[in-house]
Amino acid sequence: MLETRQLHPTLAREVVGLSLWDRLDDATVAELRALYAQYGVLVFRRQALSEIELAAFCGLFGPLERTVRSDWASPATPEVTVLSNLKDGLGRAIGGLGDGELQWHSDQSYMLNPATGAALYALELPPEGGETFWVDLRAAYAGLPRQLRARIAGKRGIFDYTKRLAGYGRAADQQISEETKRLTPPVTHALVRAHPETGDRSLYLDSTTTIGIDYMDTASGLAVLDEVYESATSDEYVYAHQWQIGDLVMWDNGFTMHRRTPFDPGARRLMKRMTMTLDRYRHVMPDGRLAQSEVGMPI
């Protein structure tokens, strides 16, 4: 049995005593997979991992995905995304910063089939700020006022990457290739999903990409979403992570959102980021469809 520490009543467990660069036996891997599916956020501290080791560990939870941000990929291991404000010897940014991700979001919500598994590994941290918060959208759904729950029953949100891009603070982070544009048309996802094993319902949300609710006029859709975000991000559903060097945090975007707090741009922050496609029989997963234009044609 793995030793774990409760970090929040429903979300987030710390797993104690593992060296993630070691080969883990099958029973340990099975236990980790179960903990990940149940708690949504797993924390491992004081890890020292090469990119290859990081990729091998994360690959235990699903095939690794290269994200649409190939411009943020590590040159050595393209499955690793670099999130940093640092520059290389030629003065070029060594990765993305995701400044717009200061708001509550779920990674890849703008994709038809989001890869919902993610991990962040902390290599350099600012002295203050730059904390990351996660919110449990199962607990948030259960706590939603009944009338609001009724208003979103059976409804699909419209998720658009152009909204996320517009929120990025750095001009370079706002630029995407034609290929990426082609891969990211507006999509819809059900706002409420049931977990395939437990049947537990959760919200599926991303305040940085939602532009409305399908089959509702834009203003009413956004007004409903505002109320949902307000209720869903109440402190009781939130786990706040204080980063330490060597932390590896994995999360499930299928029933959580996250956000980071700002930090001094003059300080250094370097994180390595993995993306995994999770098992749809063990993890709740969004069911994307192309958004329809007003005249009913696929965009």
Interface residue list for ligand OGA (CB under 6 A): 83, 98, 101, 107, 118, 120, 132, 258, 260, 271, 273
Q: Is 121 within 8 Å of 50 (Cβ atoms)?
A: no
* Torsion angle in degrees (nearest 10) through CA of 81, 83, 89, 91: 120
Q: Which is nearer to Mn ion, 107 or 252 (CB)?
A: 107
Residue 24 to residue 32: CA distance in whole angstroms: 10
Per partner kind, with CB cut-offs from 5 to 8 A, the member of ligand OGA, Mn ion, none near residue 271 is ligand OGA
221 in Cβ contact with 85 (< 8 Å): no
How far apart are CB 271 and ligand OGA at their closest, in Å? 5
Minimum distance between the CB of residue 122 and ligand OGA, rounded to whole angstroms?
Answer: 9
Binding partner of residue 195 among ligand OGA, Mn ion, none, CB cut-off 5 to 8 Å per kind: none
Strand 270-276 relative to strand 81-84: parallel, antiparallel, unpaired?
antiparallel
- Measured from the CB atom, the residue of 14 and 99 that comes closer to ligand OGA is 99
* Tokens (6 digits) for 128: 């203050």
Interface with Mn ion in residues 91-130 (CB under 5 A): 101, 107
121: β partners: 248, 272
Closer by beta carbon to ligand OGA, 130 or else 288: 130
* Residue 132 site contact among Mn ion, ligand OGA, none (CB < 5 to 8 Å, cut-off depends on kind): ligand OGA
Cβ closest to ligand OGA, residue 84 vs residue 188: 84
Strand order of the β-sheet with 117-124 is 3-6, 13-16, 41-44, 248-252, 117-124, 270-276, 81-84
Question: Residues interacting with Mn ion, by CB under 5 A?
Answer: 101, 107
